[in-house]
Structure formats: structure tokens, C-alpha cells
Structure 1
Amino acid sequence: MLSSPPSPARRPEEPGSYFLAADVGGTHARVGLARNVRDQGGACPVELLHREDYVCADWPGLGDILVDFVARLAATPWRDNAPTACVLACPGYVQGDQVVNRNLPWPVVSISQMQAQLGMADLTVMNDFEALAHAVPYVQPAEMRPLMTAQSATGGLAAGPIVVMGPGTGLGCAAILPGSPAPQVLPTEAAHVALAASTPRELDILRVLAGDDLHVPVESALSGPGLLRLYRAISTLRGETPTLQTPADVTASALERRSDAALEALNTFCALLGSFAADLAALYGAQGGILLAGGILPKIEAFLQQSEFRKRFLHKGVLSPFLERVPVHIISHGDLGVLGAACWLEGRAARA
């Protein structure tokens, strides 16, 4: 464990203070040590000093990951800088003492248990895409890869609300709304909106996905597990026995043209993603743009560029002229979730 700091511990909002920030997904957890550098005049108010990646399923609990990270700091130059707080960006929502999300590999994620394991009372849980949205002001235009451009966009984005969304183990979404003195970030549970079909084939797929259930959430198709469900549903409709076992298998088979069912599944995935991104743009009036993140997209980026994403994004009747002015970019998730969570924690006092 870390030794005591040589001076009284600072609050995470105070210049020079150190704190933990983590971006926890269904598959991986990225944990970092950050410090407040607002007084140093940089564009970003925090600096990430050290980061470790963890495979969630390899650990008995999230608290164990955090304890291991703190222990590893003993071998870094920051071994004498004890973190004073921790912020966790997680999918799902907080109910009482627990983080509720079926995509996490642990049956129970207890906030009080993690506080006890770390010996740290100041531990906050926030939505993972809410954290990602807090990092958007510090994403450079060169780090955005355009999927659809708009004449009104400058530096990659245009003026107005922005939606950050993306498929991974689940489907995340947050909105960035213009405000004063700073934009406001709105976390959402848009992944649980009902999936909508736009073609007869998609209606058939939706019937297979639904079974006896009246509600099929968007996440059932637009996520890693969702891609696998699409493949299995399409195989059923083709009268074939599905043989691929993982989302990665489906992606690889589609990209290499080894399976017609997998190729149709990936095409359907991209088309549904375009439709849903347009729905969110309409819902939030996202004139500023749509930013696509998530673990799946970098692997299929070239395929997505040539897919029906654009056609389906613009296929919204009278809203098409509005959507033509909405830029859409892909951004690499990377450290953005950790950075955004750290920025949120650093700015907590100002928001309060």
C-alpha cells in the first residue's frame, strides 16, 4: 500500500491533489492515477500519471482491481502521493449501495465494500458514457475520424448539442448540452429504448430476437453480444445452424467473407446503428454532432465506412435535411473514459 503523504492530504479539487479514476466496462477496466493541474494553465485540468488495464473476469471483484492498482503504485514515482478520492465510470446505474448492470462480470458491486477495501470514504460512481462526454472538450480534431461531415462543422464538430454513443459489451450514450458557464452532460439509459425495424428483413429478425418478450432493447442488437444475437437470428431465418461462438468470430468471418450469415449480421448491425444514431440526433437536436466510441467500432471502421450507416442515418423523412447538417465522427475510446471521470471529479467543487 502507499505510504502516508509528506503533507496533509488535499481534496481532489485542490491543485496538486492525487486521485484514482477508473473506466470499467463489461470486459476491461482501465484504472489511472490522476492529479489536478488546473493551476498550471493547461487546457485540460487533470493529468493522467499512471494507468493499468485489467480483464474484469480475471478478478473476484472490482474492489480487488482497485486495491491491486494502489499496490502497484508502490513501484512508481508517485508511491508517496496517496490518492484522496476515487471516481468509477461504470455502465448501468446506482441503486442504494450497489451498481446495477448485467454486463459486469460480478453478481454484486457494492460501493461500501469498495470503500472499505480501499480505506477511502470519498468514492463516487458515475455512468461510463457520462465520463466519456466530460472528456470530449479535450479530444483533438485529429483524433476524430469522420464518418459523415457537415459544412457547418469546424474542427470536426459544429455548434449545438452533441451525442456520444457506442457499442461495446453493452451500448452507452450521453448527451452534451450547451450551457453556461460550462456545457451540461446528461447521462442516459438509451440502450433500453425499444429496437425498431426499418425493413421487412429486420422485422423478421426482430421477431426472432423477441421470442415471447414484448420488449427488445436496442442493446440486444447494438453491442458485442447483440452482434452475436443478430448472427444467430439470421442463421435461424436462413435455415442454418449457427456455428460461430463469439462476437469476435462473427466480425472476423464477416470481414473475411467466410460466412454469409455473419456478413448479413454485420451489415444489419451497421444499418441499425445508423438508424439509432439518427434517432438520438433527432431526440437531442444534436446539431453539434454524433461521436461514436466503444470497443467494437475500431475493428469494423473500414466496413462501417462502406456500409448502409450513412443511408440509414439520413433516411428519416422530413428530418433528412436537418441530419445532413449533423457531423458524425468515430473516436478511439482509449483513455478518454478515465480522463473524463478525472475531469468530473476535479470539477466537482465548482459544480457544487
Structure 2
Amino acid sequence: MPTNRPLAGIRIVEVEGIGPGPFAAMMLADLGADVIVVHRPRSGPVVGLKERPVTDRGKRSLVLDLKSDAERDVLLKLIAHANGLIEGFRPGVMERLGLGPDICLAVNPRLVYGRMTGWGQDGPMAERAGHDLNYIAMAGALWSSAPEGDRPTVPPTLVGDIGGGALYLVVGMLSGIIAAGRTGQGTVVDAAIYDGAAHMQNLLMSIAGGVEDGPSAQANPLVGAHWSRTYRCADGGFVSVQCLEPKFYTEFLGKLGLAEDADFVNHQFDQAAWPHLSDRLAQVFAAQKRSYWEQLFHGSDACVAPVLSPREAFSHPQNVARQTWHEVDGSLQAAAAPRFDGHTPAPPADIRARGQDSDAILAALSDHSGWPESPEN
């Protein structure tokens, strides 16, 4: 692992899971941590998952059967020299495997034990099944996703699994590792998608006029407004519009030739007028192709942008300049984020096959009691 990245020298053990746990571990690996993912034995592919998912990039792979006493002991040897552990099982599963926090922290008192769940480690929902949509619905984060009277929109899993889950787990892991460096004492990080999704709503709670109950459209001033939505173009493409500030809204109207239209000028924040004004703008945007609107608003502060697929984003001049999207073996991957001054962003790391590093890691563990160093070091 290159030594010039921010998390160089940090060692993470990830017990294979799905969704936010692997994403959090990938993010730590992107930033330079040495991550060993412990894959479970399996006889065939998992439906809906790639054999080499992007979330495994930059990690070494070790296959262990954690129901085996001998192979569980191998994991404990790794944990003894790790800074952090990430697991995403329901509460109690790791304890039943003999790998709960008490055992792991006894082996390594400085360990930061990261637990990724939907509902958290306690409460009446803790052991219930759920998915992204359920967690953000119960947390209040889905409430304001649709105009009044419409059904709440199903957002991408970015809101719950990644926003409320993985990113909060990363913050928790890094905070715990910093604290362990200062105090010598590890901790358990209880990262629940439910908690993180609720925490993100504090931004809406800070907006004047936001409400904690009542019509959902009033809870989020960015939902339902004619200046905050997407519009279909003549070719079937879409553009996004979100000119919240009056100066940007004025520029938006000017670009559309509506700067003198009293309905638009006088009713930017009049919710009663939003449906009618949205219908008018829908007709305007439907009259031209997306490329026309891209050219019209290019270089302006009207806060209008095309809705692009990842493949289209890859070809956009912003990506050509910034190299956020990469093509690897015919598939797209987004580069590590955030970036750091003085460090050139590295291209996406290799995705190792399941168990590809098992022999090397096991051999290293049998030779000495330390962490098996990556051959890249």
C-alpha cells in the first residue's frame, strides 16, 4: 500500500457483509488503509452481486469459515494487530460466533470495533430485518421526499446505506482510532443507518419554515418548487433546476426570456403558485433537446445541469479535467474521495479475487505473530 496516502499504516479487518459495511471499508482502503476482507466460503455466486464488486477494490482477500474454531483463531490473530474491525451482521451474530466485542477487545484493547446495522444494537427494532427504504422512512428522512399529496419517492440507496450508514461508520472508525492513539483504549462503534439518516435531517431542521410534522412538502422547501425539480426535454433527456437564491433565480429567468413575466418574478416562494409555474416550465423545456439547454445555460450561475448517466458523466468535460470517473476493464468506477493537497489522486486499485491472498496471509501468520504485511509495502 503506498505510504503517502492519509491512512497509510492503518490496519482494518473487514468481515464480509453487503452494502454499507463493504463500502466503508473500501473508502478506508481508498484513503490508504491496509484492509483485509475476510470472505466466507461459498459454492457459487451470490445473486445480484458481481464476483469482484467494486467495493472490494484495494483490499486483500482471505477466505475463512468462522464457524471453525481453528479459522476463527486465525481471525483473532489478525484482530490482535489491527486498528479496526468492521462487521455488518444483525446484533448477536458475532457474539454467537465467539467474536463479539468483549473477546476481540480482550485480544486487542486498542481495537475500534465497528458495527454496521440498520436499526442499531438495541431498541425494539434491533433484531428485525429491514432495508434502506425502511430505515430512512422510520428515521423521518423519507417524509419530505415528495410534494404534498404525492407518495414519497424511493431514493437511491445512497441516502440510507451510504449517507446514513457507511459514511457515519467511517467517521466513527476514524474518531475511534484517533481516540485510541491518544488514550490506548479501543471502543465499539454502533453505526445505525436509522441514526445517521435521522442525523442528516438536522440540516432541514435548520431551515426557516421547516416543520417537524404536518404536510410533508412543508418539511423540505426544495421539494415541489418549480425552481427545484427536473424537467423532461424534447429528446427524452432531463435537466435539473435548483436556483434557490433570488440572484440565481433571476439569472435563470433571464436565460429563459422570462425576466419580465410577473407570474415567475413575483411568486418564487409562493407554494400555491408552484404547480402552475412547474407546468409552464415543463412545456418550455419539452420544446428543445437536452443539448440545447446545456448550451444555453453553459457558464451561467442559473443552477441548471443535465441529468447524466454515469457513462455520460465519464465523457463530460468536468470529468475529463477532474478524472472522477475511471474506466477499468470496460466498467466504470468513481475515484477515491475526498482529495488531499499535494497528493495526486491514484487510479482505482485492483479488485482481488475471493481468497486470492489466503495462502500468503496464512503463511505470514504462521511465521510470526505480527500483521501480514502487504507485498505493496
| TM-score of the two chains, using structure 2 as the length reference | 0.20
- Quick one: higher RCO (CA 8 Å, sep 6+), 1 or 2? 1
Larger radius of gyration: 2
